[in-house]
Structure 1
Amino acid sequence: MTAMTAGTAAGSATGSTAVAVSLESVRKTYGDVRALDDVTWTFARGGFTAVMGPSGSGKSTFLHCASGLDRPTSGTVRVGGVDLGGLGEAKRTRMRRERIGFVFQSFNLVPSMDVEQNIALPLLLGGTEPDPARLAEVVGRVGLADRLRHRPAELSGGQQQRAAIARALITRPEVVFADEPTAALDPRTSRDVLRLLREAADATGQTIVLVTHDPMAASWADSVVFLSRGRIVDELASPTVAAVMSRWESL
């Protein structure tokens, strides 16, 4: 396979209003190791894209750079047209809190807070009280209305992940990055989590970028981007589990 640049499926949007996230000639190095190697790609607004690749392919580095959690060594990352490299740390933090949502494998809930407080945390950190109607909407969407006073330790793994998804959605972010959100869950709970992410893209037009090693999870996306040795080497539109597995095995 040969390295690809933006231009197909989820990476095809060219107008700035249609692009949620763009990476241009992005490189990330750690000493002599090049984790990302001249990556150029765009994610269309309202799209659901899975990112896959073998261990060490650069998936986590790709997510961290695309989301503003880390700075690339060189190249440009834009979210909603805003160049993250041009922002100071305080503005980058505010950007991540208000316009970018995160869902992680380890949930990252605050143990001392109840479910409602954990969901509202991005707003509270910004000095804003949650709108009751918005909170009720998000809580209802993830099915946790009867768990709002529970702390994370009192929830199942699936309930904790649904709380993490609600927290990612509460600010109406333009894009949600999900890093292996189903890896620690059983198949049924995984489907519930993936359905919530799918609905976020379909019902609200939010952009979802899902990093996963699971072909079943990837099949929920509109397209799958494959990484190998820090480069985007392939893309699969309208993925099925069988098609994802076939491409995966050829990397």
Structure 2
Amino acid sequence: MSLPAIRMNAVTKTYKQGARVVHALREVTAALPRGRFTAVMGPSGSGKSTFLHCAAGLDTPTSGTVHLGEVEISRMSETQLSELRRDRAGFVFQSFNLIPALTVMENITLPFRLAGTRPDPAWLDEVVRRVGLENRTRHRPSQLSGGQQQRVAIARALATRPEVVFADEPTGALDPVTAADVLGLLRRLVDTTGQTAVMVTHDPVAAAHADQVLFLADGVIVEELLSPSAGEIARRISALGRRTAAA
């Protein structure tokens, strides 16, 4: 069996808020399979964004270890993490983070310009085709719809051939129809290219596109569902919310 795309072992993350210590993650252990789509859900304050940030090397655990493939990233320096994120991870956020003055193609290839490298032209054409932007490469972000801008962000994340694409509420700024279109694109990319995707979302409909859904509460993984329906996810989130409120 191949190594999981992401392995987290007893990961704890604490923050200080004044005199109070906040336990965002509490000894979380998880293995996220390669070539699959994983969604991470939980009530507000459950630790799901911290989970994503630690898994992606955007934040460093207080204790425990995180591996991206065979490489332990939890003890890397910021310089090493920057290089790893540039070369082996792709990121898609709720805000599209596009440069208004650049064209679609220039936005997609920006990571290569910053790294002083050149993209593989054949792969770049393939990525642009897969996200449906063949006729938009010379447009600027202001000339695109929200869904098209998010497609540019996804293409930019894929252009460097990352091992994992991390998405943090990628459809939060989109209307339901456009959100479904973007989620369908992510689903197809996983199915047709073997890409690994990890997505934080609050939306049961979005999470239902995933192969597995991890549920966090109070910084702990409390359940995992495989290929659940949106209704199953909504019921579980509702139950977790009631439990959190009663605690």
Task: Verify same fold: TM over 0.5.
Answer: yes
Q: Distance in 2 between matches of 1:197 and 1:91?
A: 28
Shift of residue 105, structure 1, vs aligned partner: 0.3
Q: Distance in 1 between matches of 2:69 and 2:112?
A: 20
**Residue deviations 1:222-246, cap 9 Å, x none?**
1110011111111111110111111
8 Å CA contact 2:3–2:70 kept in 1: the answer is: no
Partner of 1:143: 132
Pairwise mapping of residues 161-180 of structure 1 onto structure 2 (< 5 A)?
161-180=150-169
Q: 1:234 aligns with which of 223, 227, 231?
A: 223
Pairwise mapping of residues 1-251 of structure 1 onto structure 2 (< 5 A)?
15=1, 17-31=2-16, 32-251=21-240
Q: Distance in 2 between matches of 1:235 and 1:108?
A: 31
Shift of residue 203, structure 1, vs aligned partner: 1.1
Shift of residue 29, structure 1, vs aligned partner: 0.8
Q: Distance in 2 between matches of 1:123 and 1:247?
A: 42
Consecutive unaligned residues in structure 2, runs of 5 or more: 241-247
8 Å CA contact 1:57–1:228 kept in 2: the answer is: yes
8 Å CA contact 2:60–2:75 kept in 1: the answer is: no
8 Å CA contact 1:98–1:122 kept in 2: the answer is: no
- Which letter maps to 2:10? S
- Which letter maps to 1:74? S
Shift of residue 129, structure 1, vs aligned partner: 1.5
Point out 4+ residue stretches in structure 1 off by more than 4 angstroms: none
SS in structure 2 of the partner of residue 201 of structure 1? helix
SS in structure 2 of the partner of residue 146 of structure 1? coil
Shift of residue 171, structure 1, vs aligned partner: 1.1
SS in structure 1 of the partner of residue 24 of structure 2? strand
- Which letter maps to 2:182? V
SS in structure 2 of the partner of residue 85 of structure 1? coil
**TM-score, structure 1 as length reference:** 0.91
Q: Distance in 2 between matches of 1:131 and 1:113?
A: 20
Q: Distance in 1 between matches of 2:151 and 2:38?
A: 20
Shift of residue 188, structure 1, vs aligned partner: 1.5
Q: Which moved more, 1:208-217 or 1:78-87?
A: 78-87
Q: Distance in 1 between matches of 2:120 and 2:198?
A: 26
Shift of residue 196, structure 1, vs aligned partner: 1.4
8 Å CA contact 2:104–2:152 kept in 1: the answer is: yes
Consecutive unaligned residues in structure 1, runs of 5 or more: 1-14
**TM-score, structure 2 as length reference:** 0.92
- Which letter maps to 1:25? A
**Residue deviations 1:66-101, cap 9 Å, x none?**
000111111101101101123222221111111111
Identity %: 61
8 Å CA contact 1:35–1:57 kept in 2: the answer is: yes
**Residue deviations 1:94-149, cap 9 Å, x none?**
11111111100001112222110111122222211122211111111111111112
**Residue deviations 1:21-66, cap 9 Å, x none?**
0111111111100111110001010011110001111111111110
